Amino acid sequence: MKRSLRLKLILSFLVVALVTVLVVSALIRLTSGQSLMNLVVEQQTAQLEESVTSYYTANSSLDGFFAYYIESRPYEPRPDDSGNQNPAPGFGDIRGVFGLVDADNRAIMPTFGIDIGQQVPADMIKDPVAVKLNGETIAWILPDTKFQFKLSAEEELFLKRTSLAIGAAAAAGVAIAILMGVLLTGYLVKPIQRLTAAAKALAEGDLKQQVPVTSQDELGLLTETFNQMSSDLHQADLQRKRLTADITHDLSTPLQIISGYIEMLENGQVTLTEDRIGIIKTEIEHLRRMVSDLTTLSQVEAGGLEIQAETVQPEQLLQRVYQAYQPIAAAKGVTLELNAPSGLPAIYVDEGRMLQVLKNLVDNALRHTPAGRKVALEATDSGLVELKVTDSGEGIDADDLPYVFDRFYRADKARSANSGKMGLGLAICKALVSAQGGKIKALSAGKGQGTSMLITFPPQDSGHTAQ
């Protein structure tokens, strides 16, 4: 039989309350009787102490105190050690008191069977209570800590009422425990129930689930974690759908062109010319490049991309890129500048992969820079080694900057679609830089203000990570 968590918690509260109440009740019942007897002994000892001091004050000695005490208080025989009533006069009316001796340990009343005036052995005197007058000890009262006297009817009634009160308190405690169990379990279980319902909906495909955070405890932290997980799954699902749509779109265009030409060739609508072969080759190359880019990205994310790091001088790296693209820039009417002083700290990277990154950035910069303007390659040392590619082209809106490294993201959809680029170049750059321990970010003051791509690496001997 299944039991809900709420029921289990309520039963746990109830069991704990019952055990606690029963243990406390038993302890109180066991100790209340003895506590009452101890109180009676204290009261009787105080009364005897008052009588002794009063008598001594009046007579300057305790001679004859026993006869005075017998006359002043009613006599109640007490049982001796055999359980029989002791006919001899004593302290039967002083419950819990065994004897009384003077300062010299002589019996003032019959004590331990020793007559008045006789010396009481010191080994019989245990835990005496001093009776003092003006700072001087005039007598010792000897409490009987072992003698269990009978309580009076009033005292028995008090104990009975005490027991009833304890029972009532126990019942109230159990009732309160049940009430608190219901209230507290409701408070504890409701967030779990909400999380359970949200998790079921999440498992059924609804990735927009968010649960209200109603506390700052572990349940609140669990709820926040669930909400973050749900949000991440939702974003990942959206990204997956966008990725699928973008791949489908970018694959379909060249495939349609290729299949269209093949169909027309089969039907004899066109003849195979050098220009048409060139178009088909271009589209095939586009497909090959796209597959290669996707493969690179997947390898980086899976940790399977081979990185062959070595010591590389930043200025030499930029010099190679400059030499490769200076003729291309000149043909476009764009000035390509190089500012990379010698003596910069070396970086520990895969030179081939970094050339791939920088060439991708320069190629992108040249495509977006009109004739008559410039593209700059820079290397500086700011504690970190900085590699920067800056163009003087259209720039990027502030709203687009956070997304330029996302897969298939195109700030200018029309231009990018017409360029034959998939929107994977910057995503690949970021993946390759990150795989080598570096950071990359885009900087732009806005449309018409140009764009800078800043790459940072720690110096080879620094041992720290780029920021």
Question: Domain residue spans in the chain?
Answer: 5-143, 218-302, 310-457
Q: What is the mean pLDDT of residues 248-264?
A: 77
Specify the pLDDT at position 313. Answer: 93
The distance of Cα 310 from the centroid of its chain, to the nearest Å, equals 42
- Provide the percentage of residues in the chain whose pLDDT is more than 90: 17
348: pLDDT strictly greater than 90: yes
Which residues does 148 contact at the CB level (< 8 Å), separation at least 6?
37
362, containing H or E segment: helix 351-367
**Contact indicator for 429, 423 with CB cutoff of 8 Å:** no
Identify which of 25-29, 79-83, 359-363 has the greatest average pLDDT.
359-363
**Contact indicator for 456, 466 with CB cutoff of 8 Å:** yes
Please state, in angstroms and rounded to a whole number, the distance separating the CA atoms of residues 412 and 389. 20
Specify the pLDDT at position 92. Answer: 45
Nearest C-alpha neighbor of 374 from the set 332, 313, 411, 415: 332
Specify the pLDDT at position 391. Answer: 92
pLDDT digits (tens, 9 = 90+) for 162-186: 777 777 777 777 777 777 767 777 6
Handedness of CA 148, 149, 150, 156 (dihedral sign): negative
Nearest C-alpha neighbor of 369 from the set 337, 406, 402, 324: 337
Strand partners, 374: 335
Specify the pLDDT at position 452. Answer: 92
Q: How many CB atoms lie within 10 A of CB 84?
A: 9
Q: What is the mean pLDDT of residues 125-129?
A: 83
Which residues does 359 contact at the CB level (< 8 Å), separation at least 6?
321, 324, 325
Which residues does 123 contact at the CB level (< 8 Å), separation at least 6?
none
Specify the pLDDT at position 179. Answer: 77
- Is 12 strand, coil or helix? helix
439: pLDDT strictly greater than 70: yes
Specify the pLDDT at position 371. Answer: 92
Specify the pLDDT at position 83. Answer: 46
Domains 218-302 and 310-457 share a fold: no
Which residues does 374 contact at the CB level (< 8 Å), separation at least 6?
334, 335, 336, 337, 391, 392
pLDDT digits (tens, 9 = 90+) for 130-166: 989 888 898 988 876 555 555 667 666 766 777 777 7
382: pLDDT strictly greater than 60: yes
Q: What is the mean pLDDT of residues 87-98?
A: 48
218-302 maps to CATH 1.10.287.130: yes
- Provide the percentage of residues in the chain whose pLDDT is more than 70: 76
325, containing H or E segment: helix 314-332
Strands 310-312 and 129-133: unpaired
What Rg, from alpha-carbon coordinates, does the chain have?
50
Torsional class of 135: left (φ above 0), alpha (ψ -120 to 50), beta (otherwise): left
**Contact indicator for 459, 384 with CB cutoff of 8 Å:** yes
- Structure tokens of 268? 């004899």
Nearest C-alpha neighbor of 112 from the set 84, 85, 137, 91: 91
Handedness of CA 63, 66, 69, 71 (dihedral sign): negative
Q: What is the pTM of this model?
A: 0.48
Specify the pLDDT at position 417. Answer: 40
pLDDT digits (tens, 9 = 90+) for 201-240: 888 888 888 888 887 777 788 888 988 888 888 877 776 7
Specify the pLDDT at position 349. Answer: 92
Where residue 82 falls among pLDDT bands split at 50, 70, 90?
Answer: very low
Specify the pLDDT at position 61. Answer: 86
117: pLDDT strictly greater than 80: yes
| 24 vs 337 pLDDT, higher one | 337
**Contact indicator for 456, 435 with CB cutoff of 8 Å:** no
33: pLDDT strictly greater than 70: no
Task: Output DSSP code: residue 345.
Answer: P
Please state, in angstroms and rounded to a whole number, the distance separating the CA atoms of residues 257 and 277. 12
* CATH fourth-level superfamily of 310-457: Histidine kinase-like ATPase, C-terminal domain (3.30.565.10)
18: pLDDT strictly greater than 50: yes
Please state, in angstroms and rounded to a whole number, the distance separating the CA atoms of residues 333 and 460. 37
Please state, in angstroms and rounded to a whole number, the distance separating the CA atoms of residues 427 and 179. 59
Specify the pLDDT at position 87. Answer: 40
20, 77, 120, 165, 167 from 15: Cα distances, Å: 8, 50, 56, 21, 17
Q: What is the mean pLDDT of residues 68-82?
A: 59
452, containing H or E segment: strand 451-457
Specify the pLDDT at position 330. Answer: 92
Q: How many CB atoms lie within 10 A of CB 369?
A: 24
Specify the pLDDT at position 466. Answer: 45
| 119 vs 82 pLDDT, higher one | 119
Specify the pLDDT at position 60. Answer: 87
Q: What is the mean pLDDT of residues 259-272?
A: 81
- Is 49 strand, coil or helix? helix
pLDDT digits (tens, 9 = 90+) for 297-317: 777 767 677 788 899 999 999
Please state, in angstroms and rounded to a whole number, the distance separating the CA atoms of residues 407 and 246. 9
84: pLDDT strictly greater than 50: no
Where residue 88 falls among pLDDT bands split at 50, 70, 90?
Answer: very low
Where residue 97 falls among pLDDT bands split at 50, 70, 90?
Answer: low
Where helices occur in 337-461 by DSSP H, the ranges are 351-367, 413-419, 425-435
